[in-house]
Structure 1
Amino acid sequence: MSAEPVPARVLTLRPATRTDLPAVLALLADEERVVDPVTVTVTEAYERAFAAIDADPRNEMLVLAENADGEGAGGTVVGCLQATYIPGLGKGGAERALIEAVRIRADRRGGGLGRTLMERAIARARARGCALVQLTSNKQREDAHRFYAGLGFVRSHDGFKLGL
């Protein structure tokens, strides 16, 4: 008796929908462990923030979703990032893409999902006409720094933040 074939897995980068919000918040809640989206409380503040991102043509909350081949468009959210497209007078008036909140589900790291997420987001920015992609990363996240360097990012500036 032969074993049933395992369906191929299909990865899709797409704008997040409201139904993805608990999964996105679960990814953002803890980088070191998997948080079950069912346990996440979606507050009114999160609802407002998601609605504002969703309504703004210069902002995208993107999810990397994994589906079994032939399984529909939803899928299991295994990664996310937010892309903001910033107009500017530098670089000949071209937009730049700012990428933030990059996360891959803790139990799925190390298998290339982060690379897929970032490469597809970069391709999306390029197709939009962006002249560059920029991001910041916490100084203590040395593994992340090596990851971004492996994608071709270079340390060109020091970043500063002021909490308000």
Structure 2
Amino acid sequence: MAHVIFRSATRADVPAILELLIDDEIARSRQPATTPEAVDAACWAAFEAIDADPRNELIVADEDGTIVGTCQLTFTPSLSRRGAERMTIEAVRVRGDLRGRGIGRAMMAWSLQRARDRGCGLAQLTTDKRRTEAHRFYASLGFVASHEGFKLAL
């Protein structure tokens, strides 16, 4: 793995992040081939909201100036864990041609350390049931498939 740093995303990183988020067949199947202007505006508004929220961190893996990975960390206070925060990791992506080089593992280790530094009592994530390689990857990091998740499109 070349020199990769993990940092908070900037507005300039958004186009590269959006490319990473559609860098597989499952993700591409969830959205139209072209991006309507309203969706484009919604993405920019979402970035601004994430960037302004101290409980959200949009992270990029930056390899010598090129964005090669991303994830979003959300910190949620919880009464169910005796008041401890939990960190939810979402939208984990590594550029398709760079997978298997350790970037994802390093990004997850960095993210889990962020949770420890904040005093979180739990890190959680969801992944599409069709992403069997991702399931093996998360299990190799110590994550346990302990719950069944449900979603409802609105």
- Return the TM-score normalized by structure 2: 0.88
In the alignment, structure 1 residue 51 sits paired with structure 2 residue 41: no
What is the aligned-residue RMSD (CA, Å)?
A: 1.6
In the alignment, structure 1 residue 21 sits paired with structure 2 residue 14: yes
Structure with higher Rg: it is 1
Q: How does 1:1-164 map to 2 (within 5 A)?
A: 9-31=2-24, 43-67=40-64, 75-164=65-154
Gaps of 5+ in 1: 1-7, 33-39, 68-74
Q: Percent of aligned positions with the same letter in both sequences? A: 57
Superposed structure 1 runs of 4+ greater than 4 Å apart: none
Task: Render the CA deviation track for 1:99-124: whole Å, top value 9, x for unaligned.
Answer: 11000000100111110111101111
Structure 1 CA distance for aligned equivalents of residues 6 and 80 of structure 2: 29
Structure 1 CA distance for aligned equivalents of residues 49 and 2 of structure 2: 32
Structure 2 CA distance for aligned equivalents of residues 163 and 91 of structure 1: 28
SS in 2 for 1:93: coil
Q: Which amino acid aligns with 2:78?
A: G
Structure 1 CA distance for aligned equivalents of residues 137 and 147 of structure 2: 18
Q: Which amino acid aligns with 1:122?
A: L
Structure 1 CA distance for aligned equivalents of residues 126 and 58 of structure 2: 17
Q: Which amino acid aligns with 2:55?
A: R
Q: Which amino acid aligns with 2:116?
A: R
Size of the alignment, in residue pairs? 143
- Whether the 8 Å contact between 2:23 and 2:95 is mirrored in structure 1 is no
Task: Render the CA deviation track for 1:24-67: whole Å, top value 9, x for unaligned.
Answer: 000002226xxxxxxx9682111100000000000111001112
Which has the higher mean CA deviation after the structures are superposed, 81-90 or 23-32?
A: 23-32
